[in-house]
Amino acid sequence: MTEIPIRISPEAKVLPANTLRFYVHFPRPGEAHFDRDQLCLLNEDDQVVRDPFLVLSQELWSPDGRRLTVLMEPGRIKRGLGADPPHDPALVVGRAYSLVVTAFGQTARHTFRVSDPVLEAVNETYWRLVSPTVGSLDPAVMHFDRVMDAALCEDEIGVLTPSGEVVQTRVSLALDGTAAQLIPSKPWRAGEHRLVVSERLEDVCGNRLGEALDHDLSAGGRPRAGMIKFTPRNANASSV
């Protein structure tokens, strides 16, 4: 049987220059088999980018050992930390890079181009929600204004019924990270629902609702929860 390939996320082909983290998804628990030397960032000339990642005494693995969180070195994505080489940007706007992982006899490579940094807090009022149909298992589709963190979208977005009960949903982020499907386990009921967002939700740059990661400490906001109301539409109604 062919083994499931290693996957790297975010999978977007264009990522902001201040992207904070990547995830490496392994086909089976990898903590005991993975060495940081098996991970590298290459520039468009296939040259290794020096020290782009934050080195931790203990790696950040998911409980099942199948997902590794890779953090970018904060000193190379935050503003105002210095002009010396250790603080040069790891990702330069307009250039292309490849994140390469070799493990389990596989090599995974994700190539992306770098866009301008995203320095503003997440604001759910800029999102657009397409309501599902009453009585269907169609997903509610949320369109974001930026690339969101896939793992946090899965954990920190939920839906409540008109009576406040939790709707069991599975969240699936689009490959480009700018849209999510909330797929229910049971048909949608009629009435006004609430999409609720935890204060822990982040975009790929670490920005949260109400708080930008790279902010002036004297003027920064605080992370907050968010909510969007929506009403599943009748079968004969058009999409919003």
CA dist 103 and 7 (Å) reads: 11
pLDDT digit string (tens) for 76-98? 876 554 454 556 889 999 999 99
From 25-29, 81-85, 121-125, 216-220, the region with the lowest mean pLDDT: 81-85
All structural domains of the chain: 7-115 (2.60.40.1220), 124-230 (2.60.40.1220)
Cα distances from 15 to residues 47, 97, 176, in angstroms, run 19, 10, 9
Phi, psi of 132 (to 5 degrees): -80, 180
Where are the strands (E) in 94-220, listed by range?
96-103, 106-115, 128-130, 140-143, 157-160, 166-167, 169-173, 179-184, 193-197
pLDDT band at 181 (very low <50, low <70, confident <90, very high): very high
Task: Of 5, 6, 14, 177, give the one whose Cα is nearest residue 111.
Answer: 14
Helical ranges in 10-79 per DSSP H: none
> Which residues are CB-contacts of 31 (< 8 A; sequence separation ≥ 6)?
59, 61, 65, 68
Q: Are the beta carbons of 203 and 235 closer than 8 angstroms?
A: no
Full-prediction pTM beyond 0.85? yes
